[in-house]
Each structure stands twice: as C-alpha cells, then as structure tokens.
Amino acid sequence: MPKSVASTRSYRSYASDYDPHNDHSDDEVDEVEELAIRNAVINAQHSRTAPVSPVDTRTHGSSRTSDLDLRSRLPERPLVMDETTGLLGHMDGHNSGYRTLPASVPATPRFPLSRQHSQLNTSRLRNHSRKGSIGLRLARALGTDANLTESADLEQSKPSIFADDRIWYDQFTSTDWVHDSIADAFRVKELRARKDFKGRAYALFDSAQGWIVVAIIGVVTAGFAYVIDITEAAIFDLKTGYCSTKWYHNKRKCCSGVAMCDDWNRWSSLIHSEGNAKLWSNFAAYIAWVVVLALLGCLVTLQTKTVVSSAISLSTLDENLGADKADTSKDDTEGRRTSVSPTRRFNEAAQRPPVIYYPAAGSGVAEVKVILSGFVLHGYLGVTTLMAKTIGLILSVASGLSIGKEGPYVHIATCIGNITCRMFKKYRTNDGKRREVLSASAAAGVAVAFGAPISGLLFSLEEVSYYFPPKVLFRTFFCCIAAALSLRGLNPYGTGKIVLFQVRYLIDWKVFELIVFALLGVLGGLTGALFIKASRFWAKTFRKIGVIKKYPLVEVLLVALVTGLVSFWNRYTRLPVAELLFELAAPCDAFTKDGSGLCPTRERITDVIWYLCAAFVIKSALTVVTFGIKVPAGIYVPSMVIGGLLGRIVGHVIQLLTLKYPNFGLFAACPKDGGPESCVVPGVYALVAAGATMCGVTRLSVTLAVILFELTGSLEHVLPFSLGVLIAKWTADAVEPLSIYDLLTDMNSYPYLDSKARPTFTTELGDITRPPSKNRIVDVTTAPLVPAKQLRSKLEYLHMAGELDGGLPILRDGVLVGLIPAPDLEYALDRLEKEDDALCLMSPQERWQGPGRGTDPHDHNIDVDGAAEQDLDAAEQQPLHGGGSADPTDFTPFIDPAPVALDICSPMDLVFECFVKLGLRYICVLKEGRYAGLVHKKRFVHYIKEVREKEE
C-alpha cells in the first residue's frame, strides 16, 4: 500500500510540526478524518487498476549502489503485460516507478563534483568525530551523487548523468513534456557522440525506429479492422436468418450479392412453414438476437472495469465518471466556488465510493485526445482493453444498436500503437516520444475506418493531437498509407475497395443547389448541436437513476429491447449504419413504382419522403439514448446516418419540385425530359447533410470535407461538401459551444487544456495565486537538512489537495532556490529505512557553494580533517556506476534547481502559453524576486472553465 495513499502517520503529526495559528494551515484532525483515511485504504485495496504510484513496487533500503544508476537497486522480475500495465509500461523486467539518472527534473544540468568540491565539503568536519557525525553524513551525501569523479572525467560522465530513464507516471497525473524533451535530447547527443562504425549503425537504427514502428502499427491496425469487419458482418445478419449451406456466411456472401435466394432462410422457417405467424416469429427472433448480442457486448466491456480509490481520484476528478452535477452548496452567495481545505476535500472524497470507469466503453476518442495532451489514464491503452474493445465492438455493432465502429477504430489503433512502442526502448522510456507515435496511430484508425488516409492525417492534426511537430507529419501519413494498403490487400468486403459505401456521381451540381447546400449546412449543424444537448440531458436525468447508474447492464438491456421493438418495422432502421449510409448517398440507375426503395418514380416520391421521416425520427431518438451506454460505440457514422436521412428527405423534396415546376426560373438549367435524377441527385444532398451533421456533433471541418471527397472521388462536389461543413460548424458553435468530445471531457472533469480555444483574460497571474503556506514549502533558511517526517507530512498534504504530480518549492530567506516534484519526493522518502529519525539534504546550492555559503569552491588550500579526508578518498574510489554504499538521505538529485517561475504581475495570456506550449505541471510565482506561491495546472484548468462559463 503506497505511503502516499494511506500513511500510518495521519495528518495529526503534520499539524504538530507547524504553527496552528497560521491562516493557511489546515483544519484540526478529528475522528472523521481518521475514518476517511481508513476508507481510502479500503478503497485503494479493492482498486483494480495500476498502482497509483510506483511506491508499491519499489525496493526500500537504507543505501543505494549508485546515484547514477538507480536501476541497479531493483530486483529482476518477469514482466507481465496486463490491464494494470501503465501507459509507460516497461519491458526490461524492472517493476519500478522511477529510474532516474539522476534527477527527473526539467532544469539546468547539475554538474558532478570534482575533488576540489569534495575537499571543500569537508571543511565543516574539523571538530567532529568520524562515526555518526551529521557533518560527515552531509559530506557523504553531497559527494554521493557525483561519485567524486575527477575533473578530467567530467565531460565523459555527462551523458550518463543527464540521460533520464524514468518510465512511470502516476495514475491521473500529467506528463512532464519539458523533462522528456531534455531527456531525449541528451540521449540523442550521447548516441551521435560515437563516431565508430557500431555507433553510426546504432544512430541509423535509432533514426529508422520511427518508420518501423508506424509501419507495424499500420499493418496491425488493418488486420484488426479486417477481423472486425468480416466478423461483424457475419453476425449482424443472424438477426434476420441464417445461411443453410454455410452457416458462417452473411446474407451477401450466401446469396452472392442477390437480394433474396433459397439458401438464406428466415428463423421462422424452423417453426412455421406458412401463415401470418411467420412475421411474429421473425420479429421475436430479431428482438432476441438484438438483446443477446448487446448484453454479450456489454459483459465483455464490463470486464475492463477499473476501480480507483476516491481519495486518489480527487487529483483530477472533482465528480465521478457518471456525469455528476457539482454540489452547488459549496458555492458562496455570489455563485463562486468556495475554497475547501485539502484535508476536508480528502475527507469528503475518501468517504465517497471508489470511482469506476470502463476503458473499453464508448468510442474512446475523447480519452485518446486527453491522453495525447499528456494526461495519464492507466488501462486505457492496454492489451486487455484492446481485446475487450475489439470483441465488444463486434458484438455491439452486430446487435443492430444505433452505434458505429469508426470511432472505436481510433481507440483500437492507439492501443496497438501503445503496445508496439513497448518493443522499442526509445519510445518505451520516454512519454513525450511515445505520444508522437500515438498521434500516428490515431490517424491510422480513421484511415481504415473510412478508407481515407489523407483524412486520417488531418484528423490527427485537427482533432486528437496536442503536440504535433513537423517530423511527425510525414510519419503519420506513412502510417495511414500502410494501414490503407494493408486493408486493401486483405479485401474485407470482397469488392477490392477499402470501404463499403464508396460512391461516384456522374451528374454535376447546378448553381441553384448552392442555396440548398447552405440550408443543409444550417440544418446539419443545428441537428448536431441539438444532439449534444439531448445527450447531456439524457446523461443527467435517466443515467442518474440509481439502478441504471449502479447496473450498466440494465441500461443496455432496456436500450437493446427498445431498439429491437421499433427498428424491426422500418427497413432503414434495420440496416447496418454503414450500408444504410451507402444507400442514402448512392445515385440511382433505375426507378421503381412500388416498395420503399430510394429510387422512386415521380408518383411515389411523397411516400418515400414520409417513410424516410419516420426512419429519421426513430434513428435520432435511438442514437441519443444509445450514446454513452457501456458498450464499445462510435458516433461518427450514426451521426452521418441521421444527417443522410435528413439530406435525402430534402433532396427528394427538391427533386419533386423540379419535376412539378420545370419552368420555374431557378430550374431553367434542368433537362426538361430527363428522369427524376437528371437534374437533382438526392444522394449528393444526403452526403452533404451527413457531413454537416457529423461536423455539428464533432466539430471536425477540414477532415470531414476531405473524408467526403475521398468517399466520392468527385472533384466537382468538393465545393458543396466544404460549404455544408463550414456553415454547419458556424451554426453548431452558435447553438452549442461544446463538441461531443468536449462534453465528455468536461463531464468527466479531465484536466484538458484546449490549446485551440483561448478565452479572453482580464486578470493577472496573481489573481489565481494562493498565498504561500508552510504546508506547501520547504524552508532551508536555517539548515539544509530537513526531517523526513516533515517532508512526508507535506507530501501527504499535496496528495490530499489532489496534486499527485505537484511539487514543493524550496526557499531560503524567502527566495526560491529549487523545487522537488512530489513523485520524486515520494520516491526518495520510500527509500528510507527509518524515516522517523532521518534528516534529508534539501539544498541543491550546497553543491556549488558548500555548507558554508559564500565559500570559494575553487579554493584548493582548505585544511581538511584527516579522518574525514580518508573517508572521502575512499568514496572517491567508487566506480561511476559501481556498487558502493551511499546515504539515501541526499535528496539533491531529485531537486529542480531552476523551476519555471513567472512574476505575479504576468498576464494570463503568458501563463496560458506556458502551460499549453511547454506542457508544464505547475508554475512558481515570484513577487519582486521572492516566492509568492505556486499555480498547479489543475488549478489553472478550473480557472479557464470559470472564465468560459462567464463568457457564455
């Protein structure tokens, strides 16, 4: 059990170390807090997720073999990849939290000490004995990290000193982009420093790894898409019948493309040979298959259930993942959020039930977007999630629910990318580099979903990627091409095409149709925005019911039952969404006078319009209630189907008008004696409205226009598609500012800072900076040695405040001299065998200035106590990566001596840019050069949300 989660020392010990009259100290501890901590322990013990911190797997001891090679302290353990494997899982068998060489900080490099430094550090040992002396311990601590190397060895030792091998980020924390960038820069520098043949070969292989990784991802993603497509298609048709010759064939293969054949039998044929009872038997069989397949898909999805202790989840989730509404009782009279002490927040959170989420549920695009922004969600990109998502997606789509598989393809492809990265150390040990590969993976998902590699690239750039350097652009494109070519070679549909609903238009559009295309853009954007509002309303009403919230299977059962009851009677609600979209967008070759086909003669156009209106209402309602249930489900194609039905209705109306009033001025360019589609092609209207509605839901713009172009291959229709998408985005933004993914991110309280939507600031950094508290700083004014017990209490305070990835500023005389990140402090404390009595060195400047500040570090004539000098000479003989003993109380390797700091008067726009462009976790605040507070990223995200709410 991590000490940071439920330490045996309560907040009582922490309060005793500080002035109780401090205005910013926490509340007194009582029995309620003790109960809260016990509840947190129970919750965390029952959590089925990756450890909240690497403490669980660290080796505790009183010594370390080398500060430059911390991995040598760790036992060799076999690695088992499962759902608990972290986002930065490892393959070398070290089941640890951090492997840092020597500091996990994005800061100015700290140079190792030479002999003259070690002699200087012994100047204060003169009047002390050698054994048990605090001064000697200090000297050893100051010399340990550098291993007392000779000055001549300084340049040679730099690469190993600065190369960082951290491989773990805690659950619900943020990636340190600056640190990862610096670590990779030193890795590349060390690699290119080798000029021999072997070194050049390694450098060449290193540069080729990116191409190898994305190629593997593209091919494997295509393989998964192929399996999903052919399996889902075979199971989908089981709802209506079975193939008597080959049971594993779907209707299309069984009948060789013919609409009806003798080899395809209805389920009623097993019971009835003739009569009206056949209809009701088929109806019952249809409902049974819908319910069974949906429940099976839900059961598979529920296997990825992840439980997180509520005391830990408060680090980012103010509410739970069930779209709970914030408690307005915590607002003051002016509606502002009142400040609650960390201990009180911890008490309230620990007494709530654990947070539960299902990584395989939904489309996963919102979570992928958040993960690519640097947020860590353990389990979302693991092997178990990949398999459960794949199997669950096949079952849920085959059930006939109003969901799509295109969105989950993005999640599946990203899982494949994450797992593939574990094969290469370059990406396995660096989270920033890994996210470059994950961006390419997400693009491959769209490429196989729509058969549109260019659209996949644009999707990654426009929607999901947070950090997209130019070099990633071409690799992403290569990944999309590899995925599309592989899928074409596999030929899942047996037609030689990548997608099922690829269409071609031979008739060009007329000028007067631009008015209708603009109207479709307005209608599509409005429909998408209303869908988002309806989804929010449904989540906050129906899903708040106790039974529905506690038992997700009940909701799936009810939705599947309703879907089976209402969709059986309409042909266009029975069809799979991809096939339905194809029918809606396809042009007509022949026209019929009967049936419900989409190629009617003039006399039957009105009947078809009413038939499509019924399908539009049913499909819209089913999509609203289905979105968000605990099955793998996408929203891309269902939203396009809703828009396609709407566009087809409008298209047939315009078609009827051109046939009834051929002499009207606007229709002058239409042929007078042509067929129903000689002037107006309703399929074009359907595709324009489909793109407009999807834009209203997702707010994709350029990507959508290119998707529609790649589906049709028609250059003439790029303008109508683009016009509809542009107007739809303007309309949707006016009605509902949030996209569906923004809504999910907001409802789940992910700390996502949208770089594309900067609010208008009227404040300065000081307006959101809380005054410094003794609980949140480390003061080394009187002495650089700080009790470990006091540091543990401060760390617990940060965790109770929800800042698992926060930090403690180090002050001397009120001046900021460094900062130690909370994860590194936790790691350092957990190495101590006797924490209660330990004193820890917390002053990085001791390296350059010595314990006596102001002493010249280059003075070679310092007289040193003989006994102490012997000990230091013995320490000098330790190898750079040797196995010598060292004092673990030296915390200086974990201190950032140059944290990013801004003046308290800095404009908020500058703060926004620092958090977005640099990917910082926190910013220190200075006032006239002295420390004035610290702003955590989570605090800034909450402030951004408040500003946007006021703007609305």
pTM: predicted TM-score of the whole model, two decimal places: 0.78
pLDDT band at 552; cut points 50, 70, 90:
very high
Write the pLDDT tens digit of every residue in 604-647: 999 999 999 999 999 999 999 999 999 999 999 999 999 999 99
pLDDT band at 72; cut points 50, 70, 90:
very low
Helix, strand or coil for residue 86?
Answer: coil
Write the pLDDT tens digit of every residue in 33-56: 444 444 444 444 444 444 433 433
Q: What is the pLDDT of residue 502?
A: 76
pLDDT band at 649; cut points 50, 70, 90:
very high
The structure tokens 């096949």 sit at: 394
Write the pLDDT tens digit of every residue in 410-430: 999 999 999 999 999 899 888
Q: Which of 33-37, 200-204, 532-536, 681-685 has the lowest mean pLDDT?
A: 33-37
Q: What is the pLDDT of residue 152?
A: 36
Higher pLDDT: 15 or 583? It is 583
The set of residues, in sequence order, having a beta carbon less than 8 Å from that of 945 and lying 6+ positions away, is 746
Q: What is the pLDDT of residue 877?
A: 39
pLDDT exceeds 80 at position 734: yes
pLDDT exceeds 70 at position 29: no
Write the pLDDT tens digit of every residue in 854-868: 334 344 443 434 443
Q: Report d(CA 684, CA 690) in Å as an integer.
A: 10
Q: What is the pLDDT of residue 114?
A: 31
Instruction: Summarize the confidence of residues 308-336 as an average pLDDT.
Output: 44
DSSP string, 514-568: HHHHHHHHHHHHHHHHHHHHHHHHHHHHGGGSHHHHH-HHHHHHHHHHHHHHHHT
Instruction: State the chain's maximal CA–CA distance in angstroms.
Output: 113
Q: Which residues of 384-410 are buried (b: 16+ CB within 10 A; e: fewer)?
A: bbbbbbbbbbbbbbbbbbbbbbbbbbb
Secondary structure in 3-state letters for 344-413 = HHHHHHHCCCCEEECCCCECCHHHHHHHHCCECCCCCCCHHHHHHHHHHHHHHHHCCCCCECHHHHHHHH
pLDDT exceeds 50 at position 179: yes
Higher pLDDT: 448 or 312? It is 448
Helix, strand or coil for residue 228?
Answer: helix
Q: What is the pLDDT of residue 845?
A: 65
Give which of 378, 430, 462, 496 is closest to 209, Cα–Cα: 430
Write the pLDDT tens digit of every residue in 933-950: 999 888 898 888 888 877
The structure tokens 């610096």 sit at: 182
pLDDT exceeds 50 at position 163: no
How far is C-alpha 391 from the geometric centre of its chain's CA atoms?
21
Are 924 and 821 contacting, i.e. CB atoms less than 8 angstroms apart? no
What does the mean pLDDT of the chain come to? 76
